């Protein structure tokens, strides 16, 4: 049952009555239910604080947060993705970027349909399909953010272990009797660094202001650009050169390549939060275009550089291929380590806030917030130690969760809210093509990633 046409630009108050073509019982019922639940705060709108003094984030700050959401650990795996699919698969990177930018715009239109109610991704699902849509959106959203946070810790452990090989820490366990020869727990290598990094990142998860996190995001954006320059320097000045010929096309590796390409653009989970944080929300479409264009340029440069340098021998993180001891290699790895520090809190906070609100509704005090966030960090450490396969994990996240959150759900929600009959044929055909593409990537990529993870075990 179609809901109608596009929202009017003059609908500044966000009410259903002010939006021509949206006077539909489903939307009215949704608005009435949201008013009845007014005491239950929206977790997406609050996950970074309301910033009442600033009146919202500026255009530039939102660009920094958007760039930080899109650019990050995917930059290191993009040469590996190109090696999996071959040179011709680079065209798929451009296709995925364009598709994800378009679906980001679809999410913005869904929010504009009822800005007072649909303030977050789960609320968009609720607006489209009721409670079932909200649960589906929440499940994919939180699972994606959680697994990305785990990937950050694996990344940190891998690169720090390369910088400081052989590092270990011995902890006494006791039980040695009076002789003082108690047992020792020896933690070394990647496992040690994963734990240490988690301890350093932990305080950033306690921040709730998007304005404050914008400064952290700026450091992450700068770090992404510096890493590309360092890899280029290693090829030109440090003697690595461009000796990797590579393959034109590897059909069997296309599912993994597509999954990793999609993972690079998996910022949709926090796009509604970024849009709500802006002073001028109408400019968010410009933010999306700028962020996707800049990130695609950065991703494409890194993919070409890494594949030209190492060919099919490129590892799941290109920094692991760089020669040890060179200044450019060390600088690349050091700057790589900045990205998880700048993004971890951005990923974990929506999930933490959702848990906090559930507990607050049950009568718990806000003083448990820090405890909840600490436990979330601890749980990601446990999983990072249990599944230390960065490339395969990121491919799985990209193939299954990122495809759902970045391609499929925005299209389905948009068509449900605005109605297929009221959309132009060209637009409906484009959205249908995106749904088919996303379904293929999800099915083939998920199977391929799970198969490789099982094989590693």
Write out the DSSP string of 45-62: HHTT---TTTTSB-HHHH
> How far apart are the C-alpha atoms of 21 and 261, rounded to whole Å?
37
Percent with pLDDT over 70 in the chain? 77
- Distance between CA atoms of 264 and 188, rounded to whole angstroms? 30
The model's pTM is 0.75
Token pair of 86 as six digits:
């071959």
DSSP secondary structure letters along 324-365:
TT-HHHHHHHHHHTHHHHHHHHHHHHHHHHHHHHHHHHTT--
The continuous run of DSSP H or E covering 126 comes out as helix 121-129
Distances (CA, A) of 29 to 47, 132, 331, 415, 431: 26, 15, 56, 19, 27
Q: What confidence tens digit (pLDDT) does each residue in 369-393 have? A: 788 888 999 999 988 888 766 666 6
Sign of CA dihedral 419, 425, 430, 433: positive
Distance CA 408, CA 94 (A): 18
Q: Where are the alpha helices (DSSP H) in 284-337?
A: 284-310, 327-336
Q: Which residue has the tokens 């650009």?
A: 225
Q: Which of 291, 293, 290, 318 is nearest to 304 (CA)?
A: 318
DSSP class of residue 278 equals B
Contact 341, 330 (CB under 8 A): no
Query: Where do the domains of the chain lie, and which CATH numbers do they carry?
Result: 57-168+182-456 (1.20.1740.10)
- pLDDT tens per residue across all 457 residues of the chain: 333 343 433 333 433 333 333 444 444 444 445 544 444 444 433 333 444 334 577 888 888 888 887 876 688 889 999 999 999 999 999 999 999 999 999 998 988 887 666 677 888 999 999 999 999 888 888 888 888 888 888 888 887 887 788 888 777 765 555 555 556 667 777 888 888 888 988 887 876 655 555 666 777 788 888 899 999 999 998 888 888 788 999 998 888 888 889 888 878 877 887 888 788 888 899 999 999 999 999 999 999 999 999 999 999 888 888 887 788 888 888 887 777 776 787 778 778 877 877 777 666 665 677 888 889 999 999 888 887 666 666 677 777 787 888 899 999 999 999 988 888 899 999 999 999 988 988 888 788 778 777 776 6
Strands 183-188 and 168-174: antiparallel
């Amino acid at each position: 049952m179609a809901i109608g046409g596009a929202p009017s630009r003059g609908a500044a108050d966000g009410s259903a009555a002010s939006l021509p073509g949206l006077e539909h019982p489903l939307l009215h019922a949704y608005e009435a239910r949201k008013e009845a639940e007014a005491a239950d705060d929206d977790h997406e709108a609050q996950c970074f604080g309301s910033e009442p003094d600033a009146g919202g984030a500026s255009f530039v700050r939102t660009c920094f947060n958007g760039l930080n959401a899109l650019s990050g650990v995917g930059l290191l795996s993009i040469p590996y993705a190109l090696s999996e699919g071959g040179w011709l698969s680079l065209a798929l990177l451009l296709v995925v970027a364009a598709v994800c930018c378009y679906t980001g715009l679809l999410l913005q239109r869904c929010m504009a349909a009822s800005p007072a109610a649909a303030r977050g991704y789960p609320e968009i699902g609720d607006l489209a399909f009721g409670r079932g849509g909200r649960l589906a959106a929440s499940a994919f959203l939180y699972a994606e953010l959680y697994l990305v946070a785990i990937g950050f810790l694996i990344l940190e452990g891998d690169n720090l272990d390369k910088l400081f090989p052989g590092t270990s820490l011995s902890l006494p366990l006791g039980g040695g009797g009076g002789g003082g020869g108690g047992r020792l727990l020896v933690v070394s290598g990647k496992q040690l660094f994963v734990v240490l990094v988690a301890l350093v990142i932990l305080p950033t998860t306690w921040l709730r202001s998007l304005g404050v996190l914008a400064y952290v995001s700026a450091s992450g954006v700068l770090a992404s650009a510096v890493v590309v320059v360092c890899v280029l320097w290693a090829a030109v000045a440090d003697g690595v050169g461009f000796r990797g010929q590579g393959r034109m096309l590897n059909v069997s590796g296309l599912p993994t390549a597509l999954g990793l390409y999609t993972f690079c653009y998996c910022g949709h989970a926090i796009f509604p939060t970024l849009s709500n944080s802006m002073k001028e929300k109408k400019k968010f479409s410009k933010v999306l275009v700028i962020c996707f264009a800049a990130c695609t340029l950065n991703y494409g440069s890194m993919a070409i550089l890494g594949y030209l340098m190492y060919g099919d021998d490129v590892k799941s993180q290109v920094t692991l291929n760089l020669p040890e001891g060179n200044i450019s290699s060390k600088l690349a790895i050091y700057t790589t380590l900045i990205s998880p520090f700048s993004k971890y809190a951005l990923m974990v906070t929506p999930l933490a806030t959702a848990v906090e609100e559930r507990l607050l509704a049950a009568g718990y005090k806000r003083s448990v917030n820090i405890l909840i966030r600490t436990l979330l960090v601890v749980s990601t450490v446990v999983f990072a130690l249990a599944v230390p396969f960065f490339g395969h994990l990121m491919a799985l996240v990209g193939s299954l969760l990122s495809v759902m959150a970045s391609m499929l759900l925005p299209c389905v929600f948009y068509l449900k809210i605005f109605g297929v009959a009221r959309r132009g044929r060209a637009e409906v055909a484009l959205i249908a093509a995106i749904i088919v593409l996303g379904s293929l990537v999800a099915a083939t990529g998920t199977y391929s990633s799970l198969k490789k993870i099982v094989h590693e075990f």
